[in-house]
Structure 1
Amino acid sequence: MTISERPMPHLEGAAHRHVTVRGVRLHLAEFGSGDPVVLLHGFPQHWYAWRRVVPLLAGGHRLICVDLRGFGWSEQSRSGYDTDSLAADVIALLDQLGLDQAVLVAHNWSAGVGFRVCQRAPERVRAFLALNMMHPWTRHRDMLPNLWRMWFTAFIEYPVLGRLVLRHWPAFTRHLMRRSVGGPGPWSEAELTEFTEATQFSAHAWQSLFWQYVVRDIPAGVRGIHRRTRLTVPTRVLGGALDPVFPPALLRGKPYADDLTVRIVPGAGHHLPEERPELVAEELLKLIAANPGGADGGSQPGGDAGA
């Protein structure tokens, strides 16, 4: 079975299709109509990570849940998994969809992609909600004592080893998901199986993403390259008080930004879209209301035929 042949999980109201962006077919699950909101998933998931947030928002917004390059039902490529390339994919997707501007929501690793999109093309992002991810201005003195929290990346990032682990050790992925939440797991057994199996099919992409983070993003962070670019997009960061990967200490620091605020959610861990979907939807709606823009639903462009 190939990744494109895997059964698609059902979510009421979903319209599935593929759009070719920078030479790669990206899968989209779209819901509702109105102002466009682009949602980017984190590790180890895909578009279905937003299944509990979507029903709370689809009534008044056009929700575009994206499978990033190589994940979910999007096409895999040999390269292109570094943060800059994934950000370029998102900007090119807005072009392909005919959207001058959209609200951006991103969780976990894709929130790093979201920050890069906002810095490179701020005019394309009306507002940005980042979940469970540190911003580019986290202080080095806060990062160093928390590096141990990334222990699991040692099993993923290395070529060959990382792919073998993700493909043939599903218990590892399940363990990461179960230990990263702030209380009893928010997932059913079927949901855990869905994300675990999807990770097995996307092992190459996940390993490549983590490796590119090591060889590109960490050195850039040490040199402070992206800290020197001011963030002008109105941004809210939500973190879980019990997040074992990016704890509140990593959300401190003085942002080089016009409008960035951080909120810590008591009792929550690393998967806010599933642990606190109502709160995520509430924060997003407040952010949108505080930053009104022209209704830009865009055209319904010619993506490739359905999923």
Structure 2
Amino acid sequence: MEHHVGDVNGLRMHWVTAGGGDPVVLLHGWPQTWYEWRHLIPVLARRYRVIAPDLRGWGETARPAGGYDVATVAADVAALLDRLDAGRVHVVGHDWGTPVGYHLAATHRDRVLSFTALEASIPGAGGENLLDFSQAWNPLWFFPFLATPGLPEQLLSGQQERFFGWILAQMSRSTPGCLSAEDIAVYVRAYADDDAVRSTCAYYANTWLSAAQIREAAEEPLDIPVLAVAGERSLGQNMLTFVRRLAPGADGVVLPGCGHLVPEERPDELAGLLTEFLAKAGR
């Protein structure tokens, strides 16, 4: 894997590349970075040119004051593809990388060969409706917390290791051992300063703007090959429903016993699904 840093769409971006062949773009989620693809990259790189950026505000990519809606972040990715002269690409997204990847596919239809959506409560496709707090416990409680202007930056200042360590432990409990202490430390370091918390929260604060952007893009359904993959112990069939509102012909897989962190909980199974799907989509 090779690491790169350069100016993309007016900000300093970090990305990782590996392999050769048709390009596959991997878009990470929260609270992670490109590193969540570490198991998948070597497998895909046997057949494909893999491109895995740190999205705006996360990892080693710069944290500008604004632009944390899915349309702007998708434009960052499109600009990276221009810089790399990538041509037509396969797009794979997880968590926040899924709505970003969808917007890229829906607004750059001439350059996206296929779209794979992994575990995301997609705003604008019904994901926002999961924020129902009529019950005593909602596992998505952190959405409105992170979206509250100015508050999480204050409460999490100096507490990043405790907060992100706890969040990642909760997210990975369906598959004990899928995240080592060293893996969690990589992510904690990525969100360790107050400015990283600010840029993280900005994605959640822009949820409703991103939802409107996705609804607008979805006026014309995706007609490329689309695969949705969910964890049985996380979004499950809800995820497949969201994706099929955007791409009615999407294939869907729910992984038994899997939670939210599909690329890290089920890397081998996901690699098999993607290898088969991308081969068919490429033809």
State the TM-score, normalized to the length of structure 2: 0.88
Q: What amino acid sits opposite 2:85 in the alignment?
A: G
Cα distance in structure 1, aligned partners of 2:262 and 2:84: 28
The one of the two structures with greater contact order (alpha-carbon pairs below 8 A, sep at least 6) is: 1
Residues 233, 134 of structure 1: alpha-carbon distance in 2 compared, 3 angstrom cutoff: farther
Alignment of 1:25-104 (within 5 A): 25-104=12-91
Aligned position for 2:116? 129
User: Quick one: structure 1 residues 70 and 220, their matched pair in 2 at CA, closer, same or farther if it must change by over 3 Å?
Assistant: closer
Cα offsets for 1:119-165 (capped at 9, x unmatched): 11111111111111145775589746589332112332223222234
Please give the residue correspondences for 1:233-244 in structure 2 after superposition, counting only pairs within 5 Å.
Answer: 233-243=224-234
Q: TM-score, normalised by structure 1?
A: 0.82
Ranges in structure 1 where 5+ consecutive residues have no aligned partner:
1-13, 294-307
- Equivalent position SS for 2:93: strand
**Paired position in structure 1 for 2:256:** 266
Matched, 1:279 2:230: no
Shift in alpha-carbon separation, 1:263–1:166, aligned structure 2, 3 A = farther
| Cα distance in 2 for residues equivalent to 1:282 and 1:86 | 28
CA distance in 2 between counterparts of 1:141 and 1:28 reads 29
Q: How many residues align?
A: 275
- Check the 8 A contact 2:123/2:210 in 1, yes or no: no
Aligned match of 1:300: none
Question: Counterpart of 1:3?
Answer: none
Shift of 1:226: 4.1
Aligned to 1:161: 151
Q: C-alpha distance in 2, partners of 1:134/1:106?
A: 12
Question: Which of 92, 102, 112 does residue 115 from structure 1 map onto?
Answer: 102
Asked whether the 8 Å contact 1:138–1:250 carries over to 2, the reply is no
Give the match for residue 225 of structure 1: 216
After superposition, the Cα gap between the structure-2 partners of 1:53 and 1:166, relative to the gap in structure 1 and judged at 3 Å, is farther
Which amino acid in the other structure matches residue 252 of structure 2?
Answer: V
Q: 5+ unaligned residues in a row in structure 2: which ranges? A: none
Please list the CA deviations of residues 7-50 of structure 1 after superposition, one character each: whole Å capped at 9, or x if unmatched.
xxxxxxx2111131111011011112222111111001111111
Aligned-pair identity (%): 30
8 Å contact kept, 2:231–2:257: yes
Letter in structure 2 aligned against 1:47: W
| Structure 1 position 60, deviation (Å) | 1.9
Letter in 1 for 2:180: S
What residue is the counterpart of 1:257 in the other structure?
247
Is 2:183 the partner of 1:208? no
1:172 to 1:257, Cα distance in 2 relative to 1, 3 A: same
User: What SS does structure 2 have at the residue aligned with 1:72?
Assistant: coil
User: CA 1:193 to 1:220, structure 2 compared with 1: closer, same or farther past 3 Å?
Assistant: same
Q: 1:241·1:247 contact (CA, 8 Å) conserved in 2? A: yes
CA contact (8 A) 1:241 1:266 kept: yes
Name the stretch that deviates more: 46-55 or 130-139: 130-139
**From 18, 23, 46, the counterpart of 2:10:** 23
Give the 3-state SS of the residue equivalent to 1:225 in structure 2.
helix
2:93–2:117 contact (8 Å) kept in structure 1? yes
For residues 240-272 of structure 1, give each alpha carbon's deviation from its aligned partner in whole angstroms, at most 9, with x where no partner exists: 0001xx343343265353631221000000000
1:105 alignment partner, one of 92, 106, 119: 92
- Kindly indicate whether the alpha-carbon contact (under 8 Å) linking 2:230 and 2:239 is maintained by their aligned counterparts in 1: no
- C-alpha change, 1:103 and 1:167, in structure 2 (3 Å) is farther
SS in 2 for 1:39: strand
**Aligned counterpart in structure 2 of residue 184 of structure 1, from 176, 182, 185:** 176
Q: Is the 8 A contact 2:107 2:217 kept in 1?
A: no
Whether 1:292 aligns to 2:282 is yes
